[in-house]
Amino acid sequence: MQAEPDKVAALRDAARALESIGARYALIGGVAVGIHSGVPRATLDVDLSVLSSVARSVAIRALEAAGFSLKGAFAHSVNFRHGSGEPLQLVFDPVFDAMIERAGSFEVGGQAIRIVSRPDLIAMKQRAAADPGRRRSKALRDQADIALLQGDVPDPDEGW
C-alpha cells in the first residue's frame, strides 16, 4: 500500500474496470461537488453510481481484478478499497439511472471519466439531505454542497 490514498488513481482504475465490462457509471459525491463547484471538497472516498441493471457480482469481480478489495455490501452500495488505500463506493440505485445516462465526461490523467450534471448532483444532494434517517452531520454537509453547487463559493481573498 502507498503512503497516502490516491483518489485520482482509484477513480481512473475503477472507471477502467467498469468500462471493461460495459457498465455505465458516473462520478457522484464530494469529488463531483468539487469538480462542479471549482472548490476543493474534503471527502473520505470516491463515489460512483452504476446503472442498477448492472449485475453487482460482475462489477465486484471487475473491481477485484483491478486490484480493489471488497470491504462491504449494503442494500444500494458496495464498498471497496483501492490498492493505494483510497476507499471507493459503488452505488446501485434505480433513481440515479437517468442521471447516469445524462452524465458528461471530463479527463483525469488521460482517462475520460463520466460525471453527473450539476443539476442532477443538486437533486441527489437534496434527496440525501431530506432523508430523515440520515446522520445530521452528513445532511448538513449535503446542504453545504447544494449551496456550493448553486454558486455560493468563497472568494479566496475574503479572509478568515
pTM of the model: 0.92
Give the pLDDT of residue 1: 46
How far, in Å, CA of 29 to CA of 13, rounded?
A: 17
How far, in Å, CA of 144 to CA of 41, rounded?
A: 11
Give the pLDDT of residue 8: 93
* 17 neighbors 33 (Cβ within 8 angstroms): no
Give the pLDDT of residue 159: 66
How far, in Å, CA of 135 to CA of 43, rounded?
A: 16
Instruction: Enter the DSSP assignment of 26.
Output: E
Give the pLDDT of residue 157: 79
Q: Where are the domains of the chain?
A: 7-116
146: closest CA among 130, 160, 159? 130
Give the pLDDT of residue 73: 95
Tens place of pLDDT for every residue, the chain, 160 residues? Answer: 456 899 999 999 999 999 999 999 999 999 999 999 988 888 999 999 999 999 999 999 999 999 999 999 999 999 999 999 999 999 999 999 999 999 999 988 788 999 999 999 999 999 999 999 999 999 999 999 999 999 998 787 776 6
* 26 neighbors 93 (Cβ within 8 angstroms): no
Domain 7-116: assigned CATH number: 3.30.460.40
Beta-bridge mates of residue 113: 106
